[in-house]
Amino acid sequence: MDIERVGIVGAGQMGNGIAHVFALAGYDVLMTDISQDSLDAGRALISKNLDRQVAREKISQAAKDAAMARINSTLTLTDLGQTDLIIEAATERETVKQAIFEELVPHLKPNTILTSNTSSISITRLASRTDRPEKFMGFHFMNPVPIMQLVELIRGIATDKDTFDTLHAVVEKLGKTSATAEDFPAFIVNRILMPMINEAIYTLYEGVGNVRSIDTSLKLGANHPMGPLELADFIGLDTCLAIMNVLHDGLADTKYRPCPLLTKYVEAGWLGRKTNRGFYDYSGETPVPTR
């Protein structure tokens, strides 16, 4: 299958990063979101991040200009139906994702491949709500997309070989590396990463260490580039909680029980960097621990 035009659902943190790397790799991109402000903000961030690559001499100004020219946007979800590949990068809620695919299905070309950038939700279950489970896959990019090299490829139970081979080739054209994961809750990266973050939150909750001591311990004691609480804020505490709930519900093992403190932060609206407050307060020049 030849992929030339790519539709991206969502212009937020993940969607604009995915649009960035596809446009830079020569694909025509059509991006949609629920508001023009979101689309404008996504496009502005792509331009800013491409400028950063130009300044670092990673790409030329001409490459940046060409990439921006390949990105178009629409407020009408069904306009994406005529693209060759659709990547859903909406919020990590299954009902939202199902509604998106159900609206898209009647408008798709026969060969359009559907994918989800979900970090944890069953690909088989999402695919079952469409007319093409054989052409449906998990296409999980890491954040920030322009920098992170890995893409998880997740086959649902019905995904055919042509679809997998096509997406594997797309990842290579993007200059990234793929890892194949089976369709079990949270796949590979988040199956390992999220319980570690959740355990760090339990360590804080139980008073074993404060925010700064926990993050310093993992950065200097395990050579992690970011401490687990700092990373949780970067990912978004609502996303962390959603993934832990998927693990807990899907695997029925108490070791995946979300820490009550994580739940409390999310209930308070303290979601991390995107709300300027999580395990750190980001309102000043330097992040300050909130506990």
Q: What is d(CA 195, CA 248) in angstroms, rounded to the nearest whole number?
A: 10
Evaluated on CA atoms 85, 86, 87, 92, the torsion sign reads negative
Secondary structure of 154-185 as H, E, C letters: EECCCCCHHHHHHHHHHHHHCCCEEEEECCCC
Strand partners, 87: 8, 115
Rounded alpha-carbon distances, angstroms, from residue 47 to 68, 71, 159, 290: 7, 11, 35, 33
Q: What is d(CA 83, CA 80) in angstroms, rounded to the nearest whole number?
A: 6
Q: What is d(CA 241, CA 201) in angstroms, rounded to the nearest whole number?
A: 11
Opening angle at CA 130, ends 126 and 131, nearest 5: 150
Strands 177-181 and 280-281: unpaired
Rounded alpha-carbon distances, angstroms, from residue 145 to 26, 123, 141, 217, 244: 16, 21, 6, 27, 22
Query: How is residue 229 written in tokens?
Result: 């609480």
Strand partners, 29: 6, 71
In angstroms, the first-to-last Cα distance of the chain is: 52
Q: Which residues carry out catalysis?
A: 119, 140, 152, 190
**141 DSSP assignment:** E
